[in-house]
Amino acid sequence: MQPGQPGSPAQPDLTRALDAADLEDLARRLEISPFLAGLLWRRGLRGFEEMNRFLDPGLRYLPSLDDWPGLKDLAARIGAGVLAGKKLLVWGDYDVDGITATALVVDFFRQHGIEVSGHIPDRMGEGYGLNVPDLELLAGQGCKMLLTVDCGICDLAEVGRAKELGLEVFVSDHHLPGEELPEADGICAPTVGDCPSPHLAGVGVAFMLMAAVNLYLEQQGRERVDIRNLLDLVALGTLADVANLSGDNRILVKNGLLVLAEARRPGLAALKASSNYAPNAALGAGQVVFTLAPRINAAGRMGRSDVALRMLLTENRDEAASCAAALESMNAQRRSEEDLIIREAREQAARFVKSGSLGLVLYQPDWHMGVIGIVASRVVEEFHRPTIILCNNHERIKGSGRSVEDFDLHAALGECADLFLSFGGHKMAAGLTIAYENLAPFRERFDAEVRKSFGDRPPPTKIKTDGELSMTQIMDFTLLKELEMLQPFGLGNAEPVFVSPPLLLREVRNRPGLSILDVLDEESGISAKAKIWRPREDLPQSSKGRRLRLAFSPRIDRYNGAANVEIRVRDWHFG
């Protein structure tokens, strides 16, 4: 859907038409309404089994550990090592995915009565991935085994040095590898080989690996621990990493949110409380992504990942509360840095857009390296162009990029790899390091890569809609509760978007970052408030009295315990 133009309902190719009788039968067997059954059908789910698995994604649907190439052998080597008394170090990444993955592995072994160490590198001092000085230091402290989580797949030289130091090295990662793999003693990565779970985040890979270690330790006579209590970490890390929420990720996150609601982990109970939620509140994916995750991310961005890791692992509620308070302070500092950089980046972006750039490479030496990823996301949101944000990092320039739908950012950077000192990431997000003299050539070549995909026109904005809803349906709590069964929403499982009937715009209130519309359906006589978050433009007061149609997502807002209908506008069209 182009800006300001509501689209038609998205209709995937159907293998056959679904007649009313079949729809009623599916709805009856699933114990849902024909409306919801029809919505699932239009989203590509075929028949009772697929729909039932989607609506009730139990852990029993996860693939067998036998389906992962080499997983059990890797788990056996790790398990045998720790049982033999070898000291294991878990090396993670400084983002939420890496911190939760590190906490998950450390917590798992603690439940088995085995102490292992966790290490999160300092973002500013050490950078992403393994580094030789710390490897040498840790080896000197008696580390005999190294397990990477959410990193390591591209660290060929560092893994080689670790091997020279006498360490057994095991890599668990979900990032895309380079042309060569590190010479590790074992690799667990859905991006390598024929893996049944290709979209797992780093914490999801760590969870599956620990499930295999759990089985091995049981076979050696130890009592198996219930690893379901680790799923709160899996949900948090997976959602924060914007992983695809279909298939196995849907299973892990759906069940993980249930564990998160129980708040048995003191650190997450404290984090929820500092985010103004009750410790036992049930949170949706959006609440996790926009409230909990940024506070943990702030620790990594401000070079204090150790605080977040300690919070997730402590069993002491006072220590958990102290760590959560520290994260709250860091997050406030992060927001202050972010607001300033966003203003400057927006001004740069506007100049490049005006000059015709389709791929944006924005650079300011003193921007804070810890927030440039967030800034890249905000620039993409506003200008809808693949964006790289760069700043100085010692003698080099370091950057973080975000993409738009239908543009493979990692592949595009691969075409510019000769300009980089290093790069890595995914289709939608990536990072890079570059020498200053290559900045101008990179800016030119990146724009050319975007033009290969979209020609000389900006990438189109797309909003897929799921049909029309009457105002009566919008106000139907039973229908809205059924839509909640589709959660968690995110990449790969978009929140449903519907098109409204023509509505009379009675009032417009513009606030910073929010516009509130008072609309009336003249046919039914029902009025409602509709919200536009971060509007691309304010609706002028002269719009009052005009008729418009909305593309929107309806939901139940339970703020302060009162249930109300919230209409979240994605786009609008007058006429």
Q: Taking the CB of residue 366, how many other CB atoms lie within 10 A of it?
A: 8
pLDDT in tens, the chain (575 residues): 333 344 433 433 434 567 888 899 999 999 999 999 999 999 999 889 999 999 999 999 999 999 999 999 999 999 999 999 999 999 999 899 999 999 999 999 999 999 999 999 887 666 678 999 999 999 999 999 999 999 999 999 999 999 999 999 999 999 888 889 999 999 999 999 889 999 999 999 999 999 999 999 999 999 999 999 999 999 999 999 888 999 999 999 999 999 999 999 999 999 999 999 999 999 999 899 989 999 998 888 777 889 999 999 999 999 999 999 999 999 988 888 888 899 999 999 999 999 999 999 999 999 987 788 889 988 998 899 999 999 998 788 999 999 998 899 999 999 999 999 988 888 888 999 999 999 999 999 999 999 999 999 998 877 889 999 999 999 999 999 999 999 999 888 999 999 999 999 999 998 887 889 999 999 999 999 999 987 666 677 788 899 999 999 999 987 766 788 999 999 898 87
CB 169 within 8 A of CB 218: no
| Residue 234 CA to its chain's centroid (Å) | 11
Cα-Cα-Cα-Cα dihedral sign, residues 441, 443, 446, 448: negative
Angstrom distance (rounded) from CA 192 to CA 184: 13
For residue 10, what pLDDT is reported? 40
Q: Where are the beta strands (DSSP E) in 116-185?
A: 117-119, 145-149, 168-172
**Rounded-to-integer distance, Cα 264 and Cα 262, Å:** 6
Residue type, 435: A
Q: Helices 293-301 and 305-313 meet at what angle, rounded to 10?
A: 140
CB 267 within 8 Å of CB 313 = yes
Q: How far is the C-alpha of 202 from the C-alpha of 96, rounded, in Å?
A: 10
Contact between residue 128 and residue 92 where contact means Cβ atoms under 8 Å apart: no
Q: Is the peptide bond before 488 cis (omega within 30 degrees of 0)?
A: yes
**Fold held by 356-454:** Diaminopimelate Epimerase; Chain A, domain 1 (3.10.310)
pLDDT, residue 7, reads 41
User: What is the edge-to-edge ordering of all strands in the sheet holding 88-91?
Assistant: 117-119, 88-91, 145-149, 168-172, 186-188
Residues near 48 by beta carbon (within 8 Å), at least 6 away in sequence: 26, 29, 30
Task: State which fold the 61-262 domain adopts.
Answer: inorganic pyrophosphatase (n-terminal core) (3.90.1640)
Kindly provide the residue ranges of all beta strands, DSSP E only, lying in 306-425, ordered along the sequence: 360-363, 387-393, 396-402, 420-425
C-alpha closest to that of 186 among 159, 165, 219, 216 = 159
Task: Judge contact between 341 and 366, C-beta under 8 A.
Answer: no
* Alpha-carbon span 236 to 289, nearest angstrom: 8
Nearest to 112 by CA among 252, 226, 204: 226
Q: Are 201 and 174 in contact (CB under 8 A)?
A: yes
175 vs 192: CA distance, rounded Å: 10
Beta strand pairing status for 168-172 and 145-149?
parallel
Q: Is 463 exposed, middle or buried (0-12, 13-18, 19+ CB in 10 A)?
A: middle
The pLDDT, as a whole number, for residue 441 is 96
Domain at 466-574, CATH from 3.30.1330.40, 2.70.50.60, 2.40.50.460, 3.90.1420.10: 2.40.50.460
What pLDDT shows up at residue 287?
92
Question: DSSP character for 488?
Answer: S
- Tokens encoding 320: 């958990």
Predicted confidence at residue 460, as pLDDT, reads 84
Residue at 27: amino acid letter: A
Query: What b/e string do you get for 529-567 counting C-beta neighbours within 10 Å, with b at 16 or more?
Result: ebebeeeeeebeeeeeeeebbbbbbbbeeeeeeeeeebb
Domain boundaries, the chain: 61-262, 356-454, 466-574
